[in-house]
Amino acid sequence: MAGNRDYINRRIHSLLGVIPIGLFLIQHLTVNFFATRGPEAFNAAAHFMESLPYRYVLELFVIFLPILFHGIYGVYIAFTAKHNVSNYGYFRNWMFMLQRYTGVITLIFIAWHVWETRIAIGLGWVDLNYQLMENILTNPFFFWFYVVGVVSTTFHFANGLWSFFVSWGITMTPRSQRIMTYVSIIVFLAVSYVGVRTLFTFAYGI
Amino acid sequence: MSEEKKITLIIERQDSPESAPYEETFEVPYRENMNVISALMEIRRNPVNAKGEATTPVFWDMNCLEEVCGACSMIINGKARQSCTALVDQLEQPIRLAPMSTFPITRDLAVDRSRMFDSLKRVKAWVPIDGTYDLGPGPRMAESKRQWAYELSKCMTCGVCLEACPNVNSKSDFIGPAAISQVRLFNSHPTGEMNKSERLETVMGDGGIMGCGNAQNCVQSCPKGIPLTTSLAAIYRDTAIESFKSFFGSDNKL
């Protein structure tokens, strides 16, 4: 492809954030939402995901490699910015800064979350079921850690979707970008609800 | 006559490119309809600071005094803008002046904007028509297109958008919004368009379009009101299409 390595990396970074990571995020939170229908519904849904054919290939290419690339390259991007919201306190400048902050928070959250669930399951320390998440989230510290982590992730996804539309040249005019801002706010609220609602079920059984 | 009204200026000064910056406060007599430059001229006429000590006159860059040359950019009360159109009556007191930190400082408020002119050369921000024979008239341009292209041609390379951009700094090699917008301008020109791919390939390289992080401070800060974020998005689109054309192949590639 034309352009240098930096250009291609940035394009891949932008693409991976939505396809497949954004799609995986929505799928993941949707499957977890089965918890609101009771432990049996969650266990059945989790078992279905667990028993998908060629699961390791799916996990590697749809989840692990894209997130590793997006996360590591994203940290590099985050640290090349010099924030100036104190002098230029415009909405988009705030979003620019929050996108970088939530990216770093999300990476830390995902690293911990994967360690305590997928890796712990893989090593046979715990079993994938409703009980696993209930044990984690009934601890108030981890409940709030998860709330911050999930909201940070959904913000990063929704705002990232906005810049994805600009970076791929879809929204060019100020008007289309403004409408996309409203769409991204709705996406943020909706996906956050799905994620946080599930956390409440695991933590408080409601 | 009643006591003279005075305005206070707190200026970040620097004696040479290498020396350490320091602050100096000045009080100058107020006149009606003053701009920042007329206040600086007053300091030049009587270079005495607020403590009553004689000092060197504050140095700054200026030329047209009507916001078309781009030379007198500086940071006024925290924001980069032209000092010729910064009216004292509309500014919070005391007025704080500082040089634009994105650029190398030559002295006091004057900076060296060479990197912007180097960027214009890199992206070939011109229409190449030189040759050994007369090429004749070029293709005509639609009036509707000329109208938006004219807006882009108002860029005076003042550097305010680079200063406001969080991604133009010492940790990044991003050339900034101004040169990217000029790529759009010259790619929209019917003759300039013949070198479209070449310009796009340049901004698909080091310091190019991918340095943009969509913070959109540029469009908020541009003294000429140039739709810089529309230009950036246009180049995002054009480079994406150019990538596909050059990877998969296309007869429409220039």
Parse chain B into domains and list their residue ranges. Answer: 6-111, 114-248
Residues of A with CB under 8 A from a CB of B: 1-4, 6-7, 10-11, 77, 79-84, 86-88, 90, 92-93, 95-97, 99, 162-163, 166-174, 177
Please list the alpha-helical segments (H only) found in B4-152.
36-45, 114-122, 143-152
Instruction: State which residue of chain A sits closest to B212, comparing Cα positions.
Output: A167
Are B2 and B10 in contact by the 8 Å Cβ rule? The answer is: no
The whole-angstrom separation of Cα B201 and Cα A4 is: 9
Instruction: State which residue of chain B sits closest to A96, comparing Cα positions.
Output: B215
Write out the CATH class of domain B6-111.
Answer: alpha beta
Distance in Å, alpha carbon of B223 to nearest chain A alpha carbon: 15
Are B13 and B23 in contact by the 8 Å Cβ rule? The answer is: yes
pLDDT at residue number B138 = 87
Mean pLDDT across A63-68: 98
The whole-angstrom separation of Cα B147 and Cα A75 is: 41
pLDDT at residue number B137 = 87
Please list the alpha-helical segments (H only) found in A21-119.
21-32, 39-50, 55-58, 65-78, 91-114
In the predicted structure, residue A3 carries a pLDDT above the cut 70: no
Give which of A18, A72, A100 is closest to B215, Cα–Cα: A100
Q: Which residues contact A170 (CB under 8 A, 6 or more apart)?
A: A176, B237
Give which of B181, B167, B161 is closest to A172, Cα–Cα: B181
Inter-chain residue contact A174 with B229, CB threshold 8 Å = yes
Q: Take residue B184 and report the two structure tokens written for it.
A: 């759009």
Chain A hits for B183, Cβ within 8 Å = none
The whole-angstrom separation of Cα B212 and Cα A201 is: 41
Amino acid at B34: M
In the predicted structure, residue B230 carries a pLDDT above the cut 80: yes
In the predicted structure, residue B32 carries a pLDDT above the cut 80: yes
Are A79 and B171 in contact by the 8 Å Cβ rule? The answer is: yes
Are B95 and B88 in contact by the 8 Å Cβ rule? The answer is: yes
Q: What are the CA-CA distances from residue B14 to residues A133, B147, B225 (Å)?
A: 60, 43, 31
Chain B hits for A163, Cβ within 8 Å = 213-214
In the predicted structure, residue B2 carries a pLDDT above the cut 80: no
Chain A hits for B246, Cβ within 8 Å = 1-2
The whole-angstrom separation of Cα B102 and Cα A2 is: 30
Size of interface A-B (CB pairs under 8 A): 111
Inter-chain residue contact B204 with A86, CB threshold 8 Å = no
Chain B hits for A1, Cβ within 8 Å = 243, 246-247
How far apart are the two ends of chain B, measured CA to CA in Å? 73
Q: Pick the residue with more confidence: B1 or B26?
A: B26
pLDDT at residue number A76 = 96
Options 3.50.50.60, 2.120.10.70, 1.10.1060.10, 3.40.50.620; CATH for B114-248 is 1.10.1060.10
Instruction: State which residue of chain A sits closest to B171, comparing Cα positions.
Output: A80
Residue with tokens 């050339």: B175
Mean pLDDT across A107-126: 96
Task: Label residue B151 by pLDDT band (50, 70, 90).
Answer: very high
In the predicted structure, residue B35 carries a pLDDT above the cut 90: yes
Instruction: State which residue of chain B sits closest to A5, comparing Cα positions.
Output: B205
Distance in Å, alpha carbon of A11 to nearest chain B alpha carbon: 8
Inter-chain residue contact A87 with B79, CB threshold 8 Å = yes
* Interface-testing mutation among A8, A18, A84, with chain B (most B C-beta atoms within 10 A): A84
Instruction: Please identify among residues 150-169 of chain B the ones whose CB lies closer than 8 Å to any CB of chain A.
Output: 164, 166-167, 169
Instruction: Please identify among residues 209-238 of chain B the ones whose CB lies closer than 8 Å to any CB of chain A.
Output: 209-210, 213-217, 220-221, 227, 229-230, 232-234, 236-238
pLDDT at residue number B253 = 82
In the predicted structure, residue B14 carries a pLDDT above the cut 70: yes
Average predicted confidence (pLDDT) for chain A: 96
Residue B29 β-bridge partners: B6
pLDDT at residue number A1 = 46
Please list the alpha-helical segments (H only) found in chain B.
36-45, 114-122, 143-152, 160-164, 177-188, 196-203, 217-221, 228-248
Instruction: State which residue of chain A sits closest to B164, comparing Cα positions.
Output: A88
Q: What are phi and psi of B205, to 5 degrees?
A: -105, -155
The whole-angstrom separation of Cα B252 and Cα B160 is: 36
Kindly list the structural domains of chain A, giving each domain's residue range(s) and its CATH number in brackets, ordered by start.
5-204 (1.20.1300.10)
Inter-chain residue contact A90 with B217, CB threshold 8 Å = yes
The whole-angstrom separation of Cα B168 and Cα B80 is: 14
Mean pLDDT across B139-158: 97
Cβ-nearest to A81 among B213, B216, B242? B213
In the predicted structure, residue A172 carries a pLDDT above the cut 80: yes
Give residue B122's Cα distance to chain centre. 17
In the predicted structure, residue A193 carries a pLDDT above the cut 80: yes
